[in-house]
Amino acid sequence: MTLTVNSGAFGKQVNLNPNSVSASGMGTYTGSVAASDGLWNVNYNFSAASATDTAMQSGSMSIQNLSGGEMTFSITLSLPTAAFEPLSGLFNGSISAVLFTSGAGYFRSVDTAPCWLATSGASVVNSLLAAPVNVNRNSTGTTLIGSAAFGGSTPSLPAPTFGTNIAVTLSFVLSAGDTASFSTQLGGAGVAIPAPGVLAVLGGAGLLNRRRRR
């Protein structure tokens, strides 16, 4: 997996290796990543697995703004797949987000961007927690930012592509000294796309059947 954190003009990309892998191929990823300038820290705890036509990432992530002012974040967690042919896809996903403040603080969406965006390859799968999102606290404590889901318990939402990766991007503005925590899940299943010759044969067979019925 690859974790990419962008915060304004500064960014960091880290290749994550699993702490352990089960007999079924499910990897566990637990750890933390800090900004080179010390302005933020990310803790993560994920399970993930992928193959030629299936992929899943599920877990939690929290980011603390350690700077003296608000910061705009774009955080992407990308899981490669072993897809080697064009596939369409079926997907499901979910997000639950919480704001922790030490005093007054806030969490906001970035302009018109959703707080949660799922992609596969170059295609958008779906988005959740659409803008505008604006959560404020006047004192120390915890507030639910929001939660949403799609696709049911097994991948069922159609998407144009099951590509070479599945990825979730979190975009938001966070007040100084505060923490945003996310529980997120994205799963996908590849669906074979019939070759043009197969479609032509099927179309011809349908036309022949209609003529016979006449």
What's the CA gap between 151 and 156, in Å, rounded?
Answer: 5
Q: What is the pLDDT of residues 75-131, one digit of tens each?
A: 999 999 999 888 999 999 999 999 999 999 999 999 999 999 999 999 999 999 999
pLDDT at res. 193: 87
Distance of CA 184 to the CA centre of its chain: 7
Contacts for 147 with CB less than 8 Å, ≥ 6 apart: 94, 95, 96, 97
pLDDT at res. 209: 54
User: CA-CA distances (angstroms) from residue 155 to 1, 37, 92, 174?
Assistant: 20, 40, 4, 31
Low-confidence ranges of the chain (pLDDT < 50): 198-202, 204-205, 207-208, 211-212
pLDDT at res. 19: 98
pLDDT at res. 214: 52
* Helix boundaries (H) for the chain: 196-213
pLDDT at res. 194: 79
Q: Determine contact, residues 150/126, Cβ cutoff 8 Å.
A: yes
In angstroms, how far is the first alpha carbon of the chain from the final one? 57
Q: The tokens of 195 are what? A: 């070759």
**Residue 123 backbone phi and psi in degrees, to 5:** -105, 140
pLDDT at res. 199: 40
Helices (H) and strands (E) in the chain, counts: 1, 16
